[in-house]
Structure 1
Amino acid sequence: MIGMQYNITLPNDYDMKIIRKRIQHNGAKTDGFPDLLFKAYLLMDYPQRKEYAPLYLWKSNEGMNQFIFNGFYDNILHSFGWQQINIAIPYKVELSNTFTKAKYVLVIEQEMPQVFDMNQLDFPYSDPHCLGRVLVYNPDKWRYVAFYFYQAIPETMEGKGSIYELVHLSM
């Protein structure tokens, strides 16, 4: 498996209806995409921070390569310019059978401390209300990111990470 995400920061005065319309028009195009476990179309729409940050979890690199190099990623390039694609290795993926009902995602990103013995990596928080969670890491940067999927805004976790709206979920 491979995790992939690009975070497109938009101007504070950007009309997010443009992105919502884009997702409504194009979101279903990744439904059933080869080797895609899921794509979560994530938006952050706060007055001081606007972001479009789709998250992909690929079953293998073939689907990711097809997406990037066979014209699909060109839509991002034409609309938003050259974007840094963050790649990570999934460490834990826990999706409930109600995962598709998720409407919000809490994202917690942290550095991995230098140690002399590598221990098991684990989610920073346990929350029985989440519908799924994904833990990815990048040994090139020694960082990890935990994604928690919720049906309602996770009020108990506010301030511990960034909360995104999940506008569409492709499986």
Structure 2
Amino acid sequence: MHAMQYELTLPADYDMGIIRRRVASRGHLLDDWQGLGFKTYLMRERGALGSPVNQYAPFYLWNTGAGMNAFLWGGPFQGIVDDFGRPSVRQWSGLAYEEGGAAHSPARVAVLRREQVPDRGLLTDVMADAARETERLAGEDGAVLSATAVDTSRWELIHFSLWENDTPKADGDVYEVLHMSAPGRDRLPG
């Protein structure tokens, strides 16, 4: 399992309706993408849900590296490059994934929290704690799903969760979910 995200931070006066229309017209293109667990089309709008910025920041969980590569090298990602320039694409190794009690509900918001892996202690213990946090978040009321991944080049953990309502029980940056393509969500490793 591979996690991936890129962030397009847009000007404060940017018409976020452009992003909404873009997702409405193009979001379906990944609804059956081979190797994709899911893609959440995420947006933060300045002043909404506590956001200080306008941002388009899709988040992906991939079942296969081949699917991710096909997307990046000649797939729909080229549309982002053509319209906004080439963003930095962050990638993490997946650690844990859990469906929540609201797994069959549409996700309204996502929460992404980043934290540094502590310098001290056994890495196995740190990763076990991260997996337990994934399980804890998935067990909260309103949780659609939860995932945790690690970037070993930066020793950074990310905790990602989706929620069926606008009051998530998780800390971090809150995003509005515009669309979710989930062709291989049922095959993501738990």
Would you say same fold, with TM above 0.5?
yes
Report whether the alignment pairs 1:27 with 2:27. yes
User: Structure 1 residue 84: deviation in Å?
Assistant: 0.4
Contact 2:109 2:168 in 1 (8 A): no
| Number of aligned residue pairs | 169
Cα distance, 1:121 vs. partner? 3.7
Distance in 2 separating the partners of 1:38 and 1:156: 21
What is residue 131 of structure 1 aligned with on the other side? Answer: 144
Structure 1 residue aligned with 2:94? 90
Q: Which amino acid aligns with 1:152?
A: N
Offset, 1:163: 0.5
Q: CA deviation at 1:162?
A: 0.8
- Give me the TM-score of the superposition, normalised by structure 1: 0.92
Contact 2:28 2:181 in 1 (8 A): yes
Alignment partner, residue 185 of structure 2: none
User: Paired residue for 1:152, among 161, 165, 171?
Assistant: 165
Which deviations, in whole Å up to 9, do the C-alpha atoms of 1:11-64 show, x marking residues without a partner?
Answer: 111100000000000000000101001000000012431110101111011001
**% identical equivalent positions:** 27
1:100 Cα deviation from its structure 2 partner: 5.0
Structure 2: how far apart are the matches of 1:156 and 1:31? 28
Letter in 1 for 2:80: I
Q: Which runs of 5+ in 2 are unaligned?
A: 183-190
Question: What is the identity, as a one-letter code, of the residue corresponding to 1:117?
Answer: L
Q: Report the 3-state secondary structure (helix = DSSP H, G, I; strand = E; otherwise coil) of the residue aligned with 1:75.
A: helix
Q: CA deviation at 1:155?
A: 5.2
The structure carrying a bigger helix percent of its residues is: 2
Deviation at 1:131, TM superposition (A): 1.5
State the Cα RMSD in Å: 1.7
1:10-21 matches, within 5 Å, as 10-21=10-21
